[in-house]
Amino acid sequence: MKIRVKGIKDTDKLGRKLGELVEPGDVICLNGDLGAGKTTLSKSIGLGMGVDDYITSPTFAIINEYEGRHPLYHFDVYRLNNGEELFDLGVEDYFYGKGVCLIEWAENIEEFLPENRLEVWINTTLDPDEREIELIPYGDRNEFLARELIK
């Protein structure tokens, strides 16, 4: 399933919609090149969840936690040497806890991700303001999320 977004306004709209739909236990995996818009989309998802704090990429912290309608656990795993480092952080408590996990650079830890997840691939196009967003759902819940986002 693919969606084209043009500019920050469309990206914000898509992210807010996803943020309104997510529920505890959802794992959203954001993938794409450097500068593709993963953090921009993360901020919009947080806004859709009712997060009031300013959302930043947790590149050096690895995990930032925010309070909204549900807890938001925002990961950036770009700098991890391997996915096993996540277990030192208690990642299973996050993945199977009472919040929503949002993981930037998730492709770097694919073998450690939960089976049920929504992968969001942000691809740049020839137009610098346009992005093609591919949704790859794993599990019924994520099929539902992807279909709702396509509408």
Over 90: is that where the pLDDT of 86 sits? no
pLDDT of residue 127: 83
CATH number of the domain enclosing 19: 3.40.50.300
Q: How far apart are CA 101 and CA 116, in angstroms?
A: 12
Could you give the number of structural domains in the chain?
1
For residues 95 and 112, the answer to whether their CB atoms sit within 8 Å is: no
**DSSP conformation letters of 7-29:** HHHHHHHHHHHHHHH--TT-EEE
Domain-embedded: residue 151: no
Q: How far apart are CA 109 and CA 26, in angstroms?
A: 17
Whole-model pTM: value is: 0.93
Domain-embedded: residue 60: yes
Q: What is the pLDDT of residues 87-138, one digit of tens each?
A: 778 888 999 999 999 999 999 999 889 999 999 999 987 788 899 999 999 9
Query: Which residues constitute the domain of residue 90?
Result: 2-131
Q: How far apart are CA 133 and CA 62, in angstroms?
A: 24
Domain-embedded: residue 93: yes
User: Position 141: which residue type?
Assistant: R
Residue 55 has what DSSP assignment?
A: P
Domain-embedded: residue 142: no
Domain-embedded: residue 12: yes
Domain-embedded: residue 141: no
Domain-embedded: residue 137: no
pLDDT of residue 121: 97
